[in-house]
Amino acid sequence: MDKDKLKELLEFFDLSGLEELEVRHSFWGGTRIRFCRRRSHAGTVPLAAPLPERHAPAAPEVRLADDLHTVNAPMVGTFFRASSPEAAPFVQVGEMVEPGQTLCVIEAMKIMNEIEAPVGGEIMEILADNAEPVEYSQPLVRIRPAVPR
């Protein structure tokens, strides 16, 4: 793809408001372009903000945001909800999670990759099935972010 076509494609992507754009041509001919717009986390809990402990009797109240944050698969692999078949799942629907808490594992090329919560909040949906393959950017978990009161 020549520079003019690439510039035209970038301008289209910028003006369109699309989250992602991928262009593929034949494997033998080359050309694979992928643009991905980084989402802003405005209105979510800053990483340094403390969240209330789960079982603390006098924990401060937490208000939940109206919109959901979707955690997508960062790679192709096999989705696992727990660290082993006998272990309890990392998270369940309805649980509160903190930023950095492990949500699931994706096995890729015999390497177990922990997927962490980018925001703290309540697990609203688990979208992938245990021990099933997932694709790059496939939605895995939806979290309702906690916002400080």
pLDDT exceeds 80 at position 48 = no
Q: Are residues 90 and 136 in the same domain?
A: yes
**Count of CB atoms situated within 10 Å of the CB of 132:** 9
Digit-coded pLDDT (tens) for 117-133: 999 999 999 999 999 99
pLDDT at 14: 74
Q: What is the mean pLDDT of the chain?
A: 78
Report if residue 55 sits inside a domain: no
pTM across the whole model: 0.56
Instruction: Please give the tally of structural domains in the chain.
Output: 2
In the predicted structure, residue 46 carries a pLDDT above the cut 50? no
**Three-state SS at 76:** coil
75 shares a domain with 31:
no
Range with the poorest average pLDDT among 15-19, 25-29, 95-99, 116-120: 25-29
**Whether residue 25 sits in one domain with residue 96:** no
* pLDDT on residue 9: 74
Phi-psi region of 47 (alpha: psi -120 to 50; beta: other; left: phi over 0): alpha
CATH number of the domain bearing residue 79: 2.40.50.100
Structural domain of residue 15, as residue ranges?
A: 3-36
